Amino acid sequence: MVNTTTTKHTSDFLIENKVNVPKEFNRIASRYDFATSMSQGYQQDLNTSARRMNLKGNEHVLDLCCGTGKSTLACLGVLPNGKITGVDNSEEMLAIAEKKFSKEIQSGKVEFMLKDAMKLDFPENSFDAIFMAYGLRNMPDYEACVQGLYRILKPGGTLCIHDYSLSDTWYSRPYWKILGYGFIIPISTILTGNSTIFSYLIKSVLNFLTPNQAKALLDKNGFKEISAKPLSGWRAPIQHTILAKKPN
Ligand SMILES: C[S@@+](CC[C@H](N)C(=O)[O-])C[C@H]1O[C@@H](n2cnc3c(N)ncnc32)[C@H](O)[C@@H]1O
């Protein structure tokens, strides 16, 4: 039997076996916040997507694939009176999130749970909104995941997908390859000592849905008021906030 905690995987193995991606995040968890803080605009972009959900501020939000809690922080910024459930399937990423938000956990504003995003066992209509930052791309079956999200979202609830999703322009793919192979892999490998997850990142983005394909998938699965908005600056051709609502 393969021990997925200690076995070293290749990026191609992870593309084929995405269920092992959280285990790979375990390896870089302690350096994840430092590495992403070197990525200009990382937290600001999460904050922008969280604001785009246009919440009232008292909702219960599922921060799916919350990692070390950078997306949780973005959600907190728009929920002065709300509650956040953070879910991730990497023990080590969650351990860091729990340390960071110990005050909010104690007050009952934030809770974290270890779960597979493909097997969410929350009751139907549980959440007012779902924020999924850099999550859907890591799912082995995008459509099955989206169907699960629809089930647990309340009628009228908002789904926000924040991810590297390459627009349909001719230059977005070569631009991503230059960024990925020229900068992201070499720099992140120096910062974290691990190249596998970053090499996987570049490939998984090349295989992921374009904003138009993501919109079509959401439409096919019953969502309404679907939109895709680019993030600003150098990320505009490669990163989007995709928003949709479950009809009332
Ligand atoms: C790039 S991190 C994003 C973390 C955070 N949302 C952020 O914006 O910084 C992706 C996260 O997805 C988690 N993940 C990947 N596949 C998952 C799955 N099937 N179920 C739950 N979490 C998963 C990983 O463990 C990792 O923490």
Which domains are seen in the chain, by residue range? Answer: 11-245 (3.40.50.150)
Predicted pLDDT of residue 39: 86
Does residue 132 contact residue 145 with C-beta atoms inside 8 Å? Answer: no
For 42, how many CA atoms within 13 A lie in the half-sphere containing its CB?
14
Residues 229 and 162: their CA atoms lie apart, in Å, by: 10
pLDDT at 166: 98
Q: How far apart are CA 87 and CA 30, in angstroms?
A: 18
Whole-angstrom distance, CA of residue 20 vs CA of residue 12: 12
- Which pLDDT score, from 0 to 100, does residue 160 have? 99
**pLDDT value at position 75?**
98
- Token readout for 207 is 């295989």
46 CB under 6 A from ligand 1? yes
Per-residue pLDDT at 193: 86
Which residue ranges in the chain fall short of pLDDT 50? Answer: 1-5
Ligand 1 pocket member 22 (CB < 6 A): yes
Nearest to 197 by CA among 24, 6, 5: 24
Answer whether 71 contacts ligand 1 (Cβ < 6 A): yes
Distance (Å) from CA 198 to ligand 1 centroid: 13
Tokens of 225: 């008021």
157 lines ligand 1 (CB under 6 A): no
Distance, CA of 202 to CA of 177 (rounded, Å): 7
**pLDDT of 38:** 87
How many angstroms separate the CA atoms of 165 and 237, rounded?
8
Euclidean distance between CA atoms 83 and 105, whole angstroms: 10
Question: What are the two backbone dihedrals, phi and then psi, of residue 101, each rounded to the nearest 5 degrees?
Answer: -110, 30
- What pLDDT does residue 191 have? 85
Q: For residue 117, report the distance from its CA to the centre of ligand 1, in Å.
A: 9
Residue whose CA is closest, atom 9 of ligand 1?
Answer: 70
What number does the ligand 1 atom closest to the CA of 29 have?
27
- Phi and psi dihedrals of 108, rounded to 5? 85, 5
For residue 5, count other CB atoms closer than 10 A to its CB.
10
Task: Say what the pLDDT of residue 33 is.
Answer: 95
Give CA–CA dist 145/66, Å, rounded: 16
* Confidence (pLDDT) at 1: 34
Q: How far apart are CA 134 and CA 238, in angstroms?
A: 13
Joined together, the tokens standing for residue 191 give: 């910062």
Gap from CA of 64 to ligand 1 centroid (Å): 7
What sign does the dihedral 63-164-142-200 (CA atoms) show?
negative
The residue assigned the tokens 């104690």 is 106
Q: What is the pLDDT of residue 8?
A: 73
pLDDT of res. 7: 63
* Residues 62 and 87 sit within 8 Å (Cβ to Cβ): yes
Instruction: Print burial letters for 62-88: b (CB count within 10 Å at least 16), e (below 16).
Output: bbbbbbbbbbbbbbbebbeebbbbbbb
Please tell me the pTM assigned to this model: 0.96
